[in-house]
């Protein structure tokens, strides 16, 4: 086929017409999606009808733990260090579109690998390292179908109450933490601060300090590691602040709190 009889052309924004040149075809294997002779390439589609353990879903997010998964915790397949709490009112960033949204209820999830959205149990060579005993949500998920993984999450989710409800000391400490460091309250204070209520800075700083010192106190008292603190109290207000629109810098014993402009959040 010569340049003259090529049936492939693109009208560019300035009105000129682009036709693939012979050199283009020789050096770049033609235009993307077309064979070198200008015919559309045959396309192949992979159709899944079962899980081939590709890990796509494991790299996108981590599963919510349900009451159904309690057995995995009891057997030690999943330990208390592998999971963390997302509290009601926590602001989260979607791994799909990067948007932020508020979590409407407390949930417990498997931790991601630090700095990623990838599940802690995912290994690039093996895929899921607990595949035969993976959580309910993972077993139910069928990327090849329209199945909705879990319905009625509110009644099915595992909460800290299920895990620690029988241990008064821990239950009461979690309750106290929720009262003083409520994320809904934290968000309200920040929103008011953005609208000019400067005195909220002090209240926000007090919440952040209480959150940190309660963790230190219980860590010392129960001789537990930082890993478990994320299950008991979720992520620290200090860590979450930027998602809520604050920059917090520590200067010795003091905090410097700055509001991030909307477009920077």
Quote the longest CA-to-CA distance of the chain: 84
Q: How far is the CB of 118 from ligand SF4 (least distance, A)?
A: 8
Among 54, 105, 167, 180, binds ligand SF4 (CB under 6 A): 54
Other CB atoms within 10 A of residue 195 CB: 8
Site string for ligand SF4, 159-178 (x = CB under 6 A): --------------------
Nearest CA-CA partner of 87 in 183, 227, 174 = 183
Q: How far is the CB of 164 from ligand SF4 (least distance, A)?
A: 23
3-class SS string, the chain: CCCCCCCCCEECCCCCEECCCHHHHHHHCCCCCECCCCCECCCCCCCCCCCCCCCHHHHHCCCECEHHHHHHHHHCCCCCCCEEEECCCCEEECCCCCCEEECCCCEEEECECCCCCCECCEECCCEECCHHHCCHHHHHCCCCCCCCCCCCHHHHECCHHHHHCCCHHHHHHHHHHHHHCCHHHHHHHHHHHHCCCCCHHHHHHHHHHHHHHHHHHHHHHHCCCHHHHHHHHCCCHHHHCCCCCEEEEEECCEEEEEECCHHHC
Nearest CA-CA partner of 245 in 201, 197, 204, 191 = 191
Place of tokens 């949930």: 107
- Based on the shown chain and the rule CB under 6 A, indicate whether residue 63 belongs to the binding site for ligand SF4: yes
Distance of alpha carbon 59 from alpha carbon 180, whole angstroms: 35
Among the listed ranges 38-46, 56-64, 223-231, 241-249, the one in contact with ligand SF4 (CB under 6 A) is 56-64
Size, binding site for ligand SF4 by CB under 6 A:
22
Among 84, 122, 186, 233, binds ligand SF4 (CB under 6 A): 122
Among 3, 29, 35, 52, binds ligand SF4 (CB under 6 A): 52
- Based on the shown chain and the rule CB under 6 A, indicate whether residue 53 belongs to the binding site for ligand SF4: yes
Among 70, 103, 113, 130, binds ligand SF4 (CB under 6 A): 130
- Based on the shown chain and the rule CB under 6 A, indicate whether residue 181 belongs to the binding site for ligand SF4: no
Among the listed ranges 28-36, 89-97, 130-138, 213-221, the one in contact with ligand SF4 (CB under 6 A) is 130-138
Among the listed ranges 44-52, 64-72, 196-204, 252-260, the one in contact with ligand SF4 (CB under 6 A) is 44-52
Place of tokens 């919440």: 207
Q: How far is the CB of 141 from ligand SF4 (least distance, A)?
A: 5
- Based on the shown chain and the rule CB under 6 A, indicate whether residue 64 belongs to the binding site for ligand SF4: no
Among 55, 113, 242, 260, binds ligand SF4 (CB under 6 A): 55
Q: How far is the CB of 148 from ligand SF4 (least distance, A)?
A: 14
Site for ligand SF4 in 82-121 (CB under 6 A): 110, 119, 121
Among 10, 105, 143, 256, binds ligand SF4 (CB under 6 A): 143
Q: Which residues of this chain interact with ligand SF4, rule CB under 6 A?
A: 48, 51-58, 62-63, 110, 119, 121-122, 128, 130, 134-135, 138, 141, 143
């Amino acid at each position: 086929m010569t340049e003259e009889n090529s049936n492939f052309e693109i009208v560019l924004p300035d009105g000129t017409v682009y036709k693939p040149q012979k050199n283009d075809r020789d050096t770049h294997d033609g235009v993307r999606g077309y064979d070198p002779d200008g015919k559309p390439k045959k396309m192949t589609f992979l159709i899944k009808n079962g899980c081939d353990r590709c890990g796509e879903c494991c790299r996108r997010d981590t599963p919510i733990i349900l009451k159904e998964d309690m057995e995995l915790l009891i057997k030690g397949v999943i330990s208390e260090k592998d999971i963390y709490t997302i509290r009601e009112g926590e602001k989260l960033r979607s791994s799909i579109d990067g948007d932020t949204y508020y979590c409407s209820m407390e949930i417990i999830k498997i931790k991601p690998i630090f700095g990623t959205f990838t599940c802690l149990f995912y290994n690039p060579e093996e895929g899921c390292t607990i595949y035969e005993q993976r959580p309910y949500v993972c077993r139910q998920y069928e990327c090849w179908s329209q199945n909705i993984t879990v319905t009625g999450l509110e009644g099915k989710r595992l909460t800290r109450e299920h895990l620690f409800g029988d241990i008064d000391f821990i239950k009461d400490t979690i309750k106290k933490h929720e009262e003083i460091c409520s994320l809904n309250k934290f968000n309200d204070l920040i929103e008011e601060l953005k609208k000019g209520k400067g005195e909220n800075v002090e209240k926000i700083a007090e919440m952040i300090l209480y959150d940190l010192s309660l963790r230190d106190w219980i860590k010392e008292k129960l001789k537990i590691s930082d890993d478990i603190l994320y299950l008991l109290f979720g992520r620290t207000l200090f860590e979450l602040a930027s998602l809520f629109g604050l920059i917090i810098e520590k200067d010795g014993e003091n905090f410097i709190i700055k509001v991030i402009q909307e477009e920077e959040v």
